Amino acid sequence: MTQYTPMIQQYLQVKASHEDAFLFFRLGDFYEMFFDDALNASRILEITLTSRDGGSNGRIPMCGVPYHSAPGYIKRLVTEGHKVAICEQVEDPKQAKGVVKREVVQIITPGTVMDDQLLSDRDNNYIGALAIDGNSYALVVADLSTGEAKAYLRNGESATMMADLSRHRVREAVLDRATYESWKERIHSSNEFAASSEERDSVPDMFAEHVGLLGHPLQKKAAGRLFQYLKHTQKRSLSHMRKVVPQSDSVLMKLDAFSKRNLELVETNRTKGKKGSLLWLLDKTMTSMGARKLKQWLEEPLYVRNEIQARLDMVEALYSKFFEREEIRAKLREVYDMERLAAKSAFGNASPRDLLQLKVSLQNVPSIKEQLLQLGCAGSEKLFSQMDAHEGLAEYLENAIHINAPLLLKDGSIIKEGFSKELDEYRDASTNGKEWIAALEQKEREKTGIRSLKIGYNKIFGYFIEITRANLAGVPEDRYERKQTLSNAERFVTPELKEKERLILEAEDKMADLEHRLFLEIREHVKRFVPGLQELAGCLAELDVMQSFASVSEERRFVKPVISIRGIVDIVNGRHPVVEKVMDAQEYVSNDIRLTDGNSMLLITGPNMAGKSTYMRQLALTAIMMQVGCFVPADSAELPLFDQIFTRIGAADDLVGGQSTFMVEMLETNYAIRHATKNSLILLDEIGRGTSTYDGMALAHSIIEHIHDQIGAKTLFSTHYHELTVLTDTLPQLKNVHVSAVEEAGKLVFLHKIVDGHADQSFGIQVAELAELPSPLIQRAKHILHDLENEGKHSSPAVREVAASIDVPESQLSLFETPVKEVSPKQHKNEAVISMIQSLNLLEMTPLDAMNKLFELQKKIR
């Protein structure tokens, strides 16, 4: 270390404790980075790389950013999954002996950001911690910016755990060291979230009360790991963190990652954006906290009848009371993000503008409560009773914070006049000092009768009263104290002048210090109200979501659904809510959906693009909308509560994971049939299309039978295998329906209407024609189709000859067939050929061996 300058030695000592973070080292008005940090940061941030003298080893790499623009650069680093350690001067440079003392005051990571510039207003920023015991694991997710925390207890392997982290959209996962080392490559390659390690899992004393609701030791370990990590990285008060609430799968509808993606609940598959998702349709929230609450509800719908009914009743009240709803919307528009404002106050980084926003928000709560009473339902009365408007705090902030408070504390003019007598005197002295002196001079002239009396100032003696020698007889000796003698005059001071002098000369310095101290006291005062403010914010967020549901329902002609106690689905003229909105200029074709205990499965046939997938998705979205408490797109709707929804809709290769469309299809289907119950909803779209016709048909057939016989869940199954429609003869719960389409003048017209029975044909070539494939190609396909229909499946004479001679069903050869016994010479030669084919171990054959064997088989057949 001695080869470096003292300042660089200090940097290296701090960096040694934060090797996994970019160290922002404060030097004056800049945050500087050195060595590898400088090389990497200059590339990522696209800033100039320079160098400086580092000691006897010569110059070292260096780059830096101004401290006032640091948040923007930190955001870029954190967005890419990096950590940033902020190292500040913790000693007054004027009092320092040698190098100014510096310490890391905060470590900013993807899951712990608190700066407004680093956060999305309408999205939570979750950090998650895992505790693992064999195949059991606990996951605790928390949002540091709002203080909320939830705990889950699950079973599964590492793939399940990683999927769970993705499902909860965590920005950062906190793992034990062993798990971190084994996962870090996969996490880095997936780029879905960052990962950090924390070996300690005991709950810190300061968070002992936060885990009081957790009953399982594994959940407490996960919470302990999370709180240890937050304590290590944030290095400040975390009093805004709320109790960790255990989440029970029995009260929530379970939506796996596949279903969330396939149903496009919060983002679309194509653009990964909000527009076109169910969230986009339903989001008419007026506050950021309402928007976040809506997203949470969509990702975790309820599975508790009473709570769902209470939400529906509340939405109905808001729906029917237009003027009250509009007044609530208007007042909510004036409410700022109280969740994050409260958290920032407790965290110690609330600005003057933040407290001003908190005051304005609180001042709108009484009006909102008045409108709640007008709604006249149990839900509104409950919210009314839970809302504490904190009038006292609002009045306190009204008296304390200036209406034009600046964004930054250092800009001054924060505290309102009248809040602090001492501060008012400083301000008055600073702004009105000359006027005071002139007024005092006039007052002293009148008191003493000395018209030549004047008040002067110099840097040595400060302010003084000067009286000529001819007028010394009129000087009041009880108040005037001689300060200086001149040749033709005397200078005096009075207690009042001394006080004015002190105020004037010290006003600027003391005013800034006092205002800073007063603001910290105000923030500390607000901190005592944080739990109540968080509860109020939660009530306002719920109200905001439900008024959003009511507003959308009125605009889109949604109806209040009935929660079925008969376990049936009976939707009359149901619609896909998002598709309907997107095609507003056109008339949407609505469809009925009916599923009962005696008819729980629909087998849907019909051409591509006719609307099979839309029909299936609209049932799932209708169920989700009901279970979050929203009205639904239909003329009338009765649905049961679904404990889970499973979907396999659309084709998607997992190229990074090395999985084909068919493999993804099978994995999603496997997850559904292993986890579904009688109370689940299963949507399977064209299962088996990713492999050969016979394999696909066999799989689809078997899957339908398994769901019918073993699970009994409400199921919609679409297929192009028309041969499967005969299953209705043997499966009593299965019913055939199809999407109607007609040909007019040789052109295909989709009617988008679901009707009973199965489709007569697939219209594949007509769909290709609609897609405007080249005309010669279409005509050639029609000729080939004609040949196939007239001559059977094999248009090649050679193939038909082989098939006829072998006299076996045309099917795909299996790579994994069990070898059969050696063929007897007495058996038919074609049976011998079949046995030979079955006995081949293709996995151990070279291409040349396979060609030779094929040639030998061909000779035998001929």
Query: What are the pLDDT digits (tens) for 435-488?
Result: 888 888 999 899 888 988 999 988 788 889 999 998 988 888 888 988 888 988
Q: Rounded distance, CA 311 to CA 630, Å?
A: 8
Residue 799: the pLDDT is 38
Residue pLDDT, tens place only, 556-572:
999 999 999 999 999 99
Q: Rounded distance, CA 148 to CA 141, Å?
A: 8
Domain containing 825 equals 797-861
Q: Rounded distance, CA 667 to CA 27, Å?
A: 55
Identify whether residues 506 and 589 lie together within a single domain.
Answer: no
Q: Which residues contact 589 (CB under 8 A, 6 or more apart)?
A: 611, 751, 752, 753
> Looking at residue 683, which CATH number applies to its domain?
3.40.50.300
The domain boundary residue, chosen from 108, 143, 176: 108
SS3 at position 22 = strand
Average pLDDT over residues 697-721: 91
Identify whether residues 582 and 698 lie together within a single domain.
Answer: yes
% pLDDT > 70, the chain: 88
> What's the mean per-residue pLDDT of the chain?
86
Q: Strands 747-756, 734-744: parallel, antiparallel or unpaired by DSSP?
A: antiparallel
Q: Which residues contact 522 (CB under 8 A, 6 or more apart)?
A: 355, 396, 397, 400, 401, 415
Residue 435: the pLDDT is 80
Whether the per-residue pLDDT at 434 is higher than 90: the answer is no
Whether the per-residue pLDDT at 327 is higher than 90: the answer is yes
Average pLDDT over residues 199-227: 95
Identify whether residues 287 and 240 lie together within a single domain.
Answer: no
Whether the per-residue pLDDT at 812 is higher than 50: the answer is no
Tokens read off for 604: 């849907």
In a domain, 521, yes or no: no
Identify whether residues 67 and 183 lie together within a single domain.
Answer: no
Which segments of 28-58 are extended strands (E)? 30-34, 50-53
Whether the per-residue pLDDT at 836 is higher than 90: the answer is no
Identify whether residues 537 and 579 lie together within a single domain.
Answer: no
Q: Report the alpha-carbon angle 486-488-494, nearest 5.
A: 60
> Looking at residue 362, which CATH number applies to its domain?
1.10.1420.10
607 assigned ligand-binding residue: yes
Residue 617: the pLDDT is 94
Q: Give 754's strand partners.
A: 739
Q: Which of 95, 205, 83, 180 is nearest to 129 (CA)?
A: 180
Highest-scoring range by mean pLDDT, 36-45, 50-59, 604-613: 36-45
Identify whether residues 672 and 539 lie together within a single domain.
Answer: no
Residue 699: the pLDDT is 87
In a domain, 314, yes or no: yes
Average pLDDT over residues 264-272: 88
612 assigned ligand-binding residue: yes
Residue 661: the pLDDT is 67
CA-based R_g, the chain, Å? 38
Exposed/middle/buried for residue 680 (C-beta within 10 Å: 0-12, 13-18, 19+): buried
**Edge-to-edge strand list for the sheet holding 136-143:** 194-197, 170-175, 126-133, 136-143, 149-155, 245-246
Whether the per-residue pLDDT at 541 is higher than 50: the answer is yes
pTM for the full model? 0.81
Higher pLDDT, 837 or 799: 837
Q: Rounded distance, CA 290 to CA 810, Å?
A: 60
Q: Which of 710, 712, 713, 716 is nearest to 735 (CA)?
A: 716
Residue 257's pLDDT band, with cuts at 50, 70 and 90, is confident
Exposed/middle/buried for residue 862 (C-beta within 10 Å: 0-12, 13-18, 19+): exposed
Q: Rounded distance, CA 785 to CA 777, Å?
A: 12
Residue pLDDT, tens place only, 498-530:
888 877 777 777 888 889 999 999 999 999 999
Tokens read off for 791: 């001559």
In a domain, 238, yes or no: yes
Tokens read off for 71: 């948040």
In a domain, 408, yes or no: no
Q: Which helix (H) or strand (E) holds 160?
A: helix 158-167
DSSP 351: -
Residue 98: the pLDDT is 83
Q: Which of 738, 627, 631, 722 is nearest to 298 (CA)?
A: 627
Residue 658: the pLDDT is 40
Tokens read off for 361: 């928000």
Q: How many domains does the chain have?
A: 6
Identify whether residues 714 and 575 lie together within a single domain.
Answer: yes
Identify whether residues 358 and 443 lie together within a single domain.
Answer: no
Q: Strands 30-34, 21-27: parallel, antiparallel or unpaired by DSSP?
A: antiparallel
* Least confident window among 25-29, 402-406, 659-663: 659-663
In a domain, 298, yes or no: yes
Q: Rounded distance, CA 723 to CA 442, Å?
A: 110
* Least confident window among 66-80, 109-123, 676-690, 843-857: 843-857
Higher pLDDT, 732 or 431: 732
CA atoms within 13 A on the CB side of 123: 17
% pLDDT > 90, the chain: 56
The domain boundary residue, chosen from 707, 739, 761: 761
Whether the per-residue pLDDT at 313 is higher than 80: the answer is yes
Identify whether residues 230 and 175 lie together within a single domain.
Answer: yes
**Edge-to-edge strand list for the sheet holding 714-718:** 254-255, 644-648, 681-685, 714-718, 601-605, 734-744, 747-756
| DSSP conformation letters of 213-270 | T--SHHHHHHHHHHHHHHHHHH-S--TTPPPPEE--GGGB-EE-HHHHHHHTSSS-TT
155 assigned ligand-binding residue: no
In a domain, 274, yes or no: no
Q: Give 142's strand partners.
A: 127, 149
Whether the per-residue pLDDT at 811 is higher than 50: the answer is no
In a domain, 495, yes or no: yes
Whether the per-residue pLDDT at 555 is higher than 90: the answer is yes
416 assigned ligand-binding residue: no
Identify whether residues 472 and 539 lie together within a single domain.
Answer: no
Whether the per-residue pLDDT at 797 is higher than 50: the answer is no
606 assigned ligand-binding residue: yes
> Looking at residue 56, which CATH number applies to its domain?
3.40.1170.10
For the stretch 174-179, contacts whose Cβ atoms lie closer than 8 Å and that sit 24 or more positions apart, written own/partner, are 174/111, 174/127, 174/128, 174/129, 174/130, 174/198, 174/225, 174/226, 174/229, 175/129, 175/130, 176/130, 176/131, 176/132, 176/201, 176/225, 179/130, 179/132
Q: What is the dihedral of CA 516, 517, 523, 525, to 10 degrees?
A: -160
Residue 131: the pLDDT is 96
Please measure the distance between the N-terminal and C-terminal CA atoms of the chain and give it in whole angstroms.
86
In a domain, 266, yes or no: no
Q: Rounded distance, CA 85 to CA 106, Å?
A: 6
Higher pLDDT, 787 or 808: 787
Average pLDDT over residues 90-94: 83
Q: Which of 297, 83, 280 is nearest to 171 (CA)?
A: 83
Q: What is the dihedral of CA 74, 79, 85, 86, to 10 degrees?
A: 20
What is the distance, to the nearest Å, from the Cα of residue 290 to the centroid of all Cα atoms in its chain? 13
Tell me the C-alpha to C-alpha distance, in Å, between residue 124 and each of 111, 238, 361, 603, 731: 10, 18, 20, 40, 46
Residue 498: the pLDDT is 84
Whether the per-residue pLDDT at 586 is higher than 90: the answer is no
Q: At what angle do helices 797-806 and 847-861 cross, to 10 degrees?
A: 70
Identify whether residues 591 and 497 lie together within a single domain.
Answer: no
Identify whether residues 49 and 122 lie together within a single domain.
Answer: no
Contact between 441 and 454 under an 8 Å Cβ cutoff? The reply is: yes
